[in-house]
């Protein structure tokens, strides 16, 4: 018995020690705002320093492009060494939380825009407001309001889409309508720009024995994009914005949203989507489209390189059709914004670095690498689907048509919305109860958030 008692005594001691230390997990990172009144912009005069940058630009063209920019920056300012740590998006998300709370946090990090990442970082006081740099480098002239909103929070992290700028992205992305040009001409359909045209095209494609809309929702998150694509056509963009940013002032149970949910369910019933889409993965779905199955594919511009390789000149891209709302709206956003950590000792150099990698010259490099730059998009010199993507981005940002991803709304909204769209698609949730469930979470959150 002695040994057992001693063991428990030992465990109890460990426990007691931990409790005695009586500190809550995490530490208070909130510091007094020590933003310098004057931002230093002359990097050459900052002395020898090392900037640690965490990015997730690991795929093909992105990796080359950021490596080239880093090299250019170091060539221009020999006193600065850039230490680059690159990870895939998933890995970055998982490790960033630990890294950013560390005393030796990286200087520049690429942080996901949503409430569960950037929002929480801002709330915990782990990121610097970029407003001083915004003023110094005149970013507001280069970046349209709708793009800056996607990386803006109030200082308490409660309001998304307004307040201070906390990050600056390099790339843009849109969830628009990919289509197969060969199939359209075979079916005798023009590229649909209105809901009426689109529904007529879907009916015609269905009749011809084609899969009108290629869709795979086994991974659950594509449902956010596809439902958003339908919603874009019915709900006024300011309403979608409020819903997406989790602000008061809109309602999921509005007549327009009801129309959107009913239409989505209706299209499922009419067989406009891929059969058994809830059991089909995202990758197999777009790969099927790339192989020539399906007429339309509502999906992100990040598929450009892959789809173009497979479909070549048959690939087309358009903004979502305009429906009852009467105004163009398109779900879109930016690549992960680059932000400066509160712990960074070289914030001014970090600001200059961010300015450098988002400069008009940098944007040219990004376009050359086959990606969609967030500003200074120049479609001259591009052809085919890439030109259509670039033009769509210019039009959407110029027209202020960009609306945020719907799962940004509340910390729990991703799980809720993905599950609900799957259920709406399978028919186990009716449009009315689908919207009621979303409304419940939305209003509960906005009430508690006071936003």
Partner 1 sequence: MSRRQAGPPGEPRRIAYVYIAPALLVFGLFFLTPLVHAVWLSLYEWDGLSVGRWVGLDNYRLVLTDDALREPFLHALTLIVFFSIIPCALGLALASMITRSAVRGVNFFRTVLFLPQVVALVVVAVAWRQIFAPDGPLNDFLRTVGLGDVARGWLGDERYALICIGVVGIWVCTGLCVVLFLAGLSKVPRELYEAARLDGAGPIREFITISVPAVRGELAVALTLTLVAAMRTFDLVYVMTSGGPGTSSRVPAYEVWDRAINKGQVGVGVTIALVLTAFILLCTVLINRLSESADS
Contact pick of 414, 434, 442, 445 for partner 1 (by CB under 8 A): 414
Shortest Cβ 418–partner 1 spacing (Å): 7
Shortest Cβ 415–partner 1 spacing (Å): 7
Among 96-104, 244-252, 302-310, 371-379, the segment contacting partner 1 (CB under 8 A)? 96-104
CA atoms within 13 A on the CB side of 366: 25
Size, binding site for partner 1 by CB under 8 A: 52
Contact pick of 31, 71, 76, 94 for partner 1 (by CB under 8 A): 94
Does residue 59 bind partner 1 (CB under 8 A)?
A: no
Q: Return the number of the residue (94 or 309) whose C-beta is nearest partner 1.
A: 94
Can you tell me the distance from the alpha carbon of 195 to that of 328, in angstroms, rounded to the nearest whole number? 11
Among 143-151, 319-327, 391-399, 411-419, the segment contacting partner 1 (CB under 8 A)? 411-419
Contact pick of 9, 18, 44, 162 for partner 1 (by CB under 8 A): 18
Shortest Cβ 18–partner 1 spacing (Å): 5
Among 9-17, 142-150, 186-194, 207-215, the segment contacting partner 1 (CB under 8 A)? 9-17
Does residue 15 bind partner 1 (CB under 8 A)?
A: yes
Q: Return the number of the residue (100 or 201) whose C-beta is nearest partner 1.
A: 100
Among 168-176, 215-223, 318-326, 396-404, the segment contacting partner 1 (CB under 8 A)? 215-223
Residue span 110-149 as binding mask against partner 1, x where in contact by CB under 8 A, dash where not: ------x---xx-xxxx-----------------------
Contact pick of 72, 394, 419, 443 for partner 1 (by CB under 8 A): 419
Does residue 448 bind partner 1 (CB under 8 A)?
A: no
Does residue 401 bind partner 1 (CB under 8 A)?
A: no
Q: Return the number of the residue (125 or 370) whose C-beta is nearest partner 1.
A: 125
Among 22-30, 53-61, 174-182, 362-370, the segment contacting partner 1 (CB under 8 A)? 22-30
CB atoms within 10 A of CB 276: 11
Shortest Cβ 348–partner 1 spacing (Å): 25
**Where along the sequence are the contacts to partner 1 (CB under 8 A)?**
2-3, 10-11, 14-15, 18-19, 24-30, 93-94, 97, 100-101, 116, 120-121, 123-126, 217-220, 274-281, 284, 411-412, 414-415, 418-420, 422-423, 426, 428-429
């Amino acid at each position: 018995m002695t040994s057992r008692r001693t063991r428990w005594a030992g465990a109890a001691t460990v426990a007691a020690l931990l409790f005695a230390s009586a500190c809550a997990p995490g530490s208070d990172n909130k510091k007094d705002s020590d933003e310098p009144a004057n931002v230093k912009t002359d990097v050459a005069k900052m002395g020898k320093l090392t900037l640690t940058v965490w990015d997730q630009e690991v795929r093909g063209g992105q990796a080359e492009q950021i490596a080239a920019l880093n090299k250019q920056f170091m060539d221009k300012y020999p006193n600065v060494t850039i230490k680059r740590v690159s990870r895939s998006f998933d890995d970055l998300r998982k490790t960033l939380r630990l890294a950013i709370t560390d005393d030796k946090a990286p200087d520049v990090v690429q942080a996901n825009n949503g409430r569960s990442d950037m929002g929480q970082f801002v709330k915990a006081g782990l990121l610097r407001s970029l407003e001083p740099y915004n003023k110094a480098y005149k970013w507001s002239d280069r970046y349209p309001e709708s793009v800056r909103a996607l990386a803006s929070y109030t200082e308490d992290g409660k309001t998304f889409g307004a307040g201070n700028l906390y990050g600056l992205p390099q790339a843009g992305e849109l969830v628009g309508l990919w289509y197969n040009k060969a199939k359209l001409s075979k079916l005798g359909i023009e590229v649909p720009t209105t809901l009426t045209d689109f529904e007529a095209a879907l009916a015609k494609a269905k009749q011809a024995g084609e899969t009108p809309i290629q869709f795979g929702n086994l991974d659950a998150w594509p449902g956010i994009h596809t439902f958003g694509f339908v919603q874009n056509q019915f709900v006024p963009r300011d309403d979608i914005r409020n819903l997406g940013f989790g602000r008061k002032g809109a309602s999921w149970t509005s007549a327009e949203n009801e129309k959107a949910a009913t239409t989505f369910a209706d299209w499922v019933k009419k067989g406009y989507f891929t059969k058994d889409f809830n059991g089909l993965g995202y990758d197999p779905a777009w790969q099927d489209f790339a192989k020539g199955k399906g007429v339309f594919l509502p999906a992100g511009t990040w598929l450009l390189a892959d789809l173009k390789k497979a479909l070549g000149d048959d690939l087309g891209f358009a903004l979502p059709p305009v429906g009852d709302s009467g105004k163009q709206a398109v779900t879109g956003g930016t690549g992960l914004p680059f932000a400066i950590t509160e712990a960074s000792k070289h914030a001014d150099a970090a600001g200059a670095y961010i300015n450098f990698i988002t400069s008009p010259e940098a944007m040219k490099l990004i376009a050359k690498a086959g990606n969609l730059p967030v500003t200074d998009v120049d479609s001259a010199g591009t052809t085919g689907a890439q030109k259509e993507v670039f033009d769509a981005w210019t039009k959407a940002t110029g027209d202020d048509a960009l609306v945020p991803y719907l799962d940004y709304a509340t910390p729990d909204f991703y799980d809720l919305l993905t599950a609900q769209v799957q259920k709406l698609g399978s028919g186990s949730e009716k449009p009315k109860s689908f919207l009621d469930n979303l409304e419940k979470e939305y209003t509960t959150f906005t009430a508690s958030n006071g936003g």
